[in-house]
């Protein structure tokens, strides 16, 4: 099972720089080990406020107990709090593993089907959405797609995308057939030095 984990680190005031660097060095080494064990799949940095230290990670584990063991084994956990979101399979997930070649973005989609929509209309738009996501995956824009835990009356999905910039991503998302029924939140991502996808650099 896959999980999206937002990791927020708060180093205690007065901690010596050499202690911070030592813990960060052990964190990097442990991240490489977890990547080799296929528990750590990706790491990114979201936009940060001054003084903020946050990382977004994609992890794999058999269940939440194993995931907690994985997270607890990371040296920065002594100063860190983690927010875990379980991810489940999405029918349109391209399941591609490719090297990042452009800027990456995470999008959260919330789809609400209007009461006025017929079952046929919903089925038709789902089919067109599946076709369009396949096209975007083939073009290298859609990297992964997951379902988020359900909420009453709507369904939510998480997408990992590549685009040249925010404007291109907005145009891509606008081209999705479900756009008219979707609320989208986008997080711009930057490279993290411990990201397994950068291991060959």
Under DSSP, is residue 129 helix (H, G, I), strand (E, B) or coil? helix
Q: By the 8 A CB rule, do 5 and 59 touch?
A: yes
DSSP 91: T
pLDDT category at 153 given cuts 50, 70, 90 is low
- 71-78: average pLDDT: 96
123/70 Cα distance (integer angstroms): 40
The number of helices, as runs of H, and strands, as runs of E, in the chain is 4, 8
- Cα–Cα distances (Å) from 128 to 147, 174, 179, 180, in that order, read 18, 14, 12, 13
pLDDT of residue 52: 76
The structure tokens 């800027």 sit at: 103
The whole-chain average pLDDT of the chain stands at 91
pLDDT of residue 48: 76
> What is the tens place of the pLDDT at every residue in 75-99?
999 999 999 999 999 999 997 655 6
pLDDT of residue 200: 54
Q: By the 8 A CB rule, do 163 and 102 touch?
A: yes
For 77: left if phi > 0, alpha if psi spans -120 to 50, otherwise beta; the answer is alpha
pLDDT of residue 7: 96
pLDDT of 55 over the 90 cut: yes
> What is the tens place of the pLDDT at every residue in 96-144?
655 666 799 999 999 888 889 899 999 999 999 999 999 999 999 999 9
Q: By the 8 A CB rule, do 43 and 55 touch?
A: yes
């Amino acid at each position: 099972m896959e999980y999206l984990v937002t990791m927020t680190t708060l180093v205690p005031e007065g901690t010596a720089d050499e202690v911070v660097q030592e813990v960060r060095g052990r964190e990097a080494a442990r991240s490489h080990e977890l990547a080799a064990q296929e528990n750590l799949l990706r790491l990114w940095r979201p936009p940060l406020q001054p003084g903020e230290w946050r990382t977004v990670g994609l992890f794999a584990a058999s269940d939440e107990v194993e995931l907690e063991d994985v997270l607890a084994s990371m040296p920065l956990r002594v100063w860190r709090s983690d927010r875990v979101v379980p991810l489940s399979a999405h029918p349109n997930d391209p399941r591609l593993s490719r090297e990042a070649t452009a800027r990456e973005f995470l999008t959260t989609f919330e789809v609400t089907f209007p009461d006025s929509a017929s079952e046929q209309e919903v089925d038709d738009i789902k089919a067109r959405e599946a076709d369009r996501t396949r096209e975007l995956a083939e073009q290298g824009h859609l990297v992964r797609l997951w379902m988020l835990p359900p909420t009453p009356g709507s369904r939510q999905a998480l997408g990992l995308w590549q685009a040249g910039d925010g404007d291109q991503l907005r145009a891509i998302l606008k081209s999705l057939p479900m756009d008219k029924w979707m609320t989208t939140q986008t997080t711009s991502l930057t490279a993290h030095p411990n990201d397994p996808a950068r291991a060959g650099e």
